[in-house]
A and B are shown apart, each in its own frame.
Chain A
């Protein structure tokens, strides 16, 4: 910073000069970022991402309201739709939903929803995960992690899938924790991979 403060008498002038240059760099980088994102094949949505903590969402200000909600009611946050456990179980029984497990591999192997595929946030680090090539874009997906109150991974996976064009994506309230607590079906080995015929 000595160039910005060569002498005492010029300190203020130099400081303003340096600040203006810094602001110019920051503004230019911001504009470049906005332009690059807009031109990207998969732009990040600037508005309307998940906002409320699932434990205190817009429609559930307290646990009492959550318990009183109708089983079929789906509570929506900003950009993320949550499905209640009972409704998720109905989807499971009807076999019309594909469950995606957003937890670590070790947790997945210990137990997961039968026929669930593992898809955690880390798989999105290098762009579109290979698994998404095998998942139909018009399919209905329910994503879960350990617990929606403490995990957050399911929300991240849901957001990322929405970036890649998946619309019917919901997050299971209370995640694996509630599924296991209710004693619902569980699988402890790795899920059978989709066959070539099911490739999108």
Chain B
């Protein structure tokens, strides 16, 4: 799953002007800000994917990726509601899906995969710490 975002970031880097076109197509932010985002977002995806894959700062990487996905999904829903006939811009490789229900469903599925990856990872450590530090007397009814 993290590989998907790594691939998405790399594909965006291959054509930054194309990603800029995709961002501007949403007509949500002014052009100067769109330029900065088109330069910045692919590297966020790449670094957070590396965090998830390597396990280094996995929880933080997962949170950032989750926030990114939420923003992307909101943008897609907004463009869909306004009737814009544009591509999602998620992968920018010429095979991208159009803004619509399919893109929303895809992003929601990715969210469903990303969130447990750092939630589960975060939950395990406190439980393991408690077990080592203070053995519990389980009461079985």
Q: Is chain B a partner of chain A in the same complex?
A: yes
Binding site for B on A (CB under 8 A): 1-4, 6-7, 18, 21-22, 25-26, 28-30, 32-34, 36-37, 40, 42, 44-47, 49-51, 104, 121-122, 124-127, 152, 156, 159-160, 163
Binding site for A on B (CB under 8 A): 13-18, 20-22, 24-25, 27, 30-32, 35-36, 38-40, 42-44, 46-48, 51, 57, 59-61, 63-64, 85, 87, 92-94, 96, 119, 121-123, 125-126, 129
Chain B residues with CB under 8 A of A50: 31
Q: How far is the CB of A140 from chain B (nearest CB, A)?
A: 22
Q: Would you call B35 and A44 a contact (CB within 8 A)?
A: yes
Q: Would you call B126 and A44 a contact (CB within 8 A)?
A: no
CA distance A11 to B140 in the complex (A): 32
A36 (CB) vs chain B CBs: closest residue: B13
Q: How far is the CB of B68 from chain A (nearest CB, A)?
A: 11
Q: Would you call B63 and A33 a contact (CB within 8 A)?
A: no
Chain A residues with CB under 8 A of B87: 122, 125
**8 cross-chain pairs, A with B, having the tightest CB-CB distances, nearest first:** A3-B122, A125-B18, A29-B43, A2-B122, A33-B39, A21-B60, A49-B31, A6-B126
Q: Would you call B14 and A127 a contact (CB within 8 A)?
A: yes
CA distance A49 to B36 in the complex (A): 11
17 A-B contacts (beta carbon < 8 Å)? A1-B63, A1-B119, A3-B122, A3-B123, A6-B129, A25-B48, A25-B51, A32-B47, A34-B39, A40-B16, A44-B17, A44-B35, A124-B17, A124-B21, A126-B15, A126-B92, A160-B21
Q: Would you call A152 and B59 a contact (CB within 8 A)?
A: no
Q: Would you call A44 and B18 a contact (CB within 8 A)?
A: no
Q: How far is the CB of A9 from chain B (nearest CB, A)?
A: 13
Among candidates B14, B21, B42, residue contacting A33 with C-beta atoms closer than 8 Å: B42
Chain A residues with CB under 8 A of B18: 124-127
Among candidates A1, A28, A44, A121, residue contacting B39 with C-beta atoms closer than 8 Å: A44
CA distance A127 to B22 in the complex (A): 13
CA distance A42 to B31 in the complex (A): 17
CA distance A42 to B63 in the complex (A): 32
Q: Would you call A25 and B57 a contact (CB within 8 A)?
A: yes
Chain B residues with CB under 8 A of A29: 40, 43-44, 46-47
Chain B residues with CB under 8 A of A45: 35
Among candidates A2, A33, A125, A127, residue contacting B126 with C-beta atoms closer than 8 Å: A2
Chain B residues with CB under 8 A of A21: 57, 60
Q: Would you call B43 and A1 a contact (CB within 8 A)?
A: no
CA distance A44 to B59 in the complex (A): 32
Q: How far is the CB of B125 from chain A (nearest CB, A)?
A: 6
Q: Would you call B44 and A22 a contact (CB within 8 A)?
A: no
B38 (CB) vs chain A CBs: closest residue: A44
Chain B residues with CB under 8 A of A1: 59, 63, 119, 122
